Amino acid sequence: MILNGFLDINGKFIIPEHIKNIRFDIGLSYCAPNSTIWLNDSDDTFVIGIEANKYACDKIISGGFIAHQKHLSFPYPHKNFVLINVALDDVKEMTTKPFYHMSSDVGVSSLLKPTDSLGHTLQEVSDVTVIPFSFILEKIDWDRFEYVELVKIDTQGKDLDIIKSAGKFLDKIVYLNCEINTFDHYENNNKPNQFNDFLINNGFDFVLDNSFVNGEVVDRTYINNKFIHLKDKINYFVL
């Protein structure tokens, strides 16, 4: 079972008593830089890391957490972090799907088949366990935590499908940071306008464009209007 060792007898995540906040880092690449920064900045934040690429998970386990941009590094494991090797997608139940491992950069691997425009060589296609995001979110003790303060998603064209798969728990998320544009580097990748249409219709507003390529937005942050009073109280910085 993919969550073996992470859950208590009630089927909820085992989270230390001192923890006040929860964050999700979905799509960690090989060194989990955002998790590295969050764990370094706050001892009362618990991070749930989700990575579909088995080689990226192995690299984190062996090489630890690294945020080159902040000159930070420390070993794995960490008391405020769990690493789950699974893919998230807009599915109804647990299943398996092919996962495309790229040879030169684990960070551009995806559930979606790459197009020639990606410019990377396919190394391997292997089956990966796939679940909806709601399967993970339902295992948070919502009697203890009012919300998840930040969900960062970077899954090469599948971000919106993951957001949709949160189901009723989408309303529990304060900030969403997602890669809205993958420039058709993958077959059937989500389009930027689809993010705005879905999220605005579900009570989220645009906050910040985090990165650009050739003048086009790549990563965007949204806030849940239900938690607009927390806008200046939560650090939503994402690399």
Q: Taking Cα atoms as reference points, which of 139, 176, 140, 180 lies closest to residue 158?
A: 180
Other residues' Cβ atoms within 10 Å of the Cβ of residue 213: 10
Q: Is residue 48 in a domain?
A: yes
Q: Is residue 43 in a domain?
A: yes
Domain enclosing residue 100, as ranges:
21-230
Q: Is residue 235 in a domain?
A: no
Give dist(CA 77, CA 211) in Å, integer: 30
Whole-number pLDDT of residue 17: 97
Other residues' Cβ atoms within 10 Å of the Cβ of residue 49: 23
pLDDT per residue as tens digits for the range 2-20: 898 999 999 999 999 999 9
Q: Taking Cα atoms as reference points, which of 134, 190, 182 lies closest to residue 161?
A: 190
Whole-number pLDDT of residue 1: 66
Q: Is residue 67 in a domain?
A: yes
Give dist(CA 170, CA 148) in Å, integer: 10
Whole-number pLDDT of residue 106: 83
pLDDT per residue as tens digits for the range 57-102: 999 999 999 999 999 999 999 999 999 999 999 999 999 999 999 8
Mean pLDDT to the nearest integer, 101-120: 89
CB contact at 8 A, 176 and 211: no
Cis status, amide bond into 77, omega within 30 of 0: yes
Q: Is residue 6 in a domain?
A: no
51-84 per-residue burial string, b: 16 or more CB within 10 A, e: under 16: bbbbebbebbeeebbbbeeeeeeeebebebbbbb
**What is the percent of the chain with per-residue pLDDT over 90, rounded to a whole number?**
91
Structure tokens at 122: 């396919």
The mean pLDDT value of the chain amounts to 95
Q: Is residue 91 in a domain?
A: yes
Number of domains in the chain: 1
- CATH at 59: 3.40.50.150
Q: Is residue 239 in a domain?
A: no
Q: Is residue 210 in a domain?
A: yes
